[in-house]
Amino acid sequence: MSRLLIIAQKVDENDDLLGFFASWLREFAKHYEGVTVIALGAGKAELPANVTVYSLGKESGVPRWQRWFGLLNLLRREVPRHDAVFAHMSPMFAVAAWPFTVAWHKRLVLWYLHRSNTFRLRLALRMVDALVTADAASLTVQSPKIHAVGHGIDVERFAFPGRQAPLARPLRILSVGRLSPIKGFETLIRAAALLRERDTDCEVRIIGKAVMPDDHQYERELHALVARLGVSDIVHFFGFVPYSAMPPQYHWADIIVGCTPPGGIDKVLLEGMAAGCIPFTSNAVMRSYLGEDAEKLLFPHGDSELLTEAVSVLDDISETAARMVSRAATQTVSSVVSAIRALL
């Protein structure tokens, strides 16, 4: 067995965006004598004894420049001790590691999953031995170095074998994401109002928080829209929910809705599918994950009317949910880690 060095943004199972990465570390640990992680910040995570995490101190307010020099110092020390380097999400992690991997003849692999095409990404792509991503359709760059390996969903964590179709209760609809305009939550809120007008009982949960300054204004606009449409009794804002507490939310829901424009894959939709939720999305990139159900589950971006219609005519809930579970099962953590290991 060998040793692997990982550079990551955060190791914290309670983080709403990056909590999943702890399950990746547990899987990597099965295949290496030792796994060392350099993270910008760290919190709570249950990890095997052969995983060591060094935090650069973001969680305690260490300045960015100090974190950068801390990263370089750790890379200088740790790269020679490891057999390969895996940089997660940030192209600058790969750029920082490259001089050390070249000097010590180590493989360097970057994971990246974002629609932006930046100078940093293009620079990193020239430096790495491989770039792995969940789905090539989520990237706006092309290179023979790019390998699509799937999303790495902790399927067992989200599984809900006891799921039952809604019969004598309102339809439960969930949407998850940062309260940011690109998430399009207003489309879902308007659809909830239309469903009520058409005598379809439903309850909507919106899970997420405002992060950036503009997000707080957007959050106020969403609350105002709920009040104006008179749906405050069926549309509920749950705020921040840690990743570790998300399975019960997916188990509660019958449907999970994503209202983003076409672009990168929305991982929460796949997590919901693993739990048996039926995904409705305006992100056409999801088409390949929806298979034969794509036509009835995709709707045009921003179109509340067609979202309402799609939800209203859904009749084979149990059968569709079973197909979603089966498709999500192809996106396991073990399969993704195995594909990454083959490139390291």
Residue 163 has pLDDT above 90, yes or no: no
Structure confidence at residue 327 (pLDDT): 94
Going from N- to C-terminal start, the domains of the chain cover: 3-148, 157-328
Kindly report, residue by residue over 70-124, the tens digit of the pLDDT. 999 999 999 999 999 999 999 999 999 999 999 999 999 999 987 777 899 999 9
In whole angstroms, give the CA distance from residue 196 to residue 199: 5
pTM: 0.90
Question: Any idea what the Cα angle at residue 262 is, between residues 184 and 16, rounded to 5°?
Answer: 55
CA distances in angstroms from 167 to 170, 183, 201, listed in the order given: 8, 30, 11
Element (H, E) at 99: helix 91-103
Angle of helix 185-197 relative to helix 213-229, nearest 10 degrees? 10
Please indicate whether the domains covering 3-148 and 157-328 agree at the CATH topology level. Answer: yes
CB atoms within 10 A of CB 285: 18
Nearest CA to 285 among 114, 137, 116, 113?
A: 137
Residue 337: pLDDT band by 50, 70, 90 thresholds? very high
Report the pLDDT averaged over residues 165-188. 93
In which order are the strands placed within the sheet that holds 107-111? Answer: 51-55, 34-42, 3-11, 84-88, 107-111, 130-133, 146-148
Structure confidence at residue 116 (pLDDT): 73
Structure confidence at residue 202 (pLDDT): 95
Structure confidence at residue 114 (pLDDT): 76
Residue 55 has pLDDT above 90, yes or no: yes
Domain 157-328 - what CATH class? alpha beta
Least confident of 164-168, 192-196, 210-214: 164-168
Structure confidence at residue 136 (pLDDT): 81
In whole angstroms, give the CA distance from residue 208 to residue 225: 17
Cβ-contact 88, 7 below 8 angstroms: yes
End-to-end alpha carbon distance in the chain:
13
Cβ-contact 137, 113 below 8 angstroms: no
Kindly report, residue by residue over 220-232, the tens digit of the pLDDT. 999 999 999 999 9
Structure confidence at residue 1 (pLDDT): 65
Structure confidence at residue 263 (pLDDT): 76
Report the pLDDT averaged over residues 184-203. 96
Residue 272 has pLDDT above 70, yes or no: yes
Residue 266: pLDDT band by 50, 70, 90 thresholds? confident
Amino acid letter at 165?
A: A
Residue 218 is encoded by which pair of tokens?
Answer: 């957007």
Structure confidence at residue 49 (pLDDT): 97
Structure confidence at residue 210 (pLDDT): 94
What percent of the chain clears pLDDT 90, i.e. is strictly above it?
Answer: 85
Looking at CATH, the fold of the domain delimited by 3-148 is given as: Rossmann fold (3.40.50)
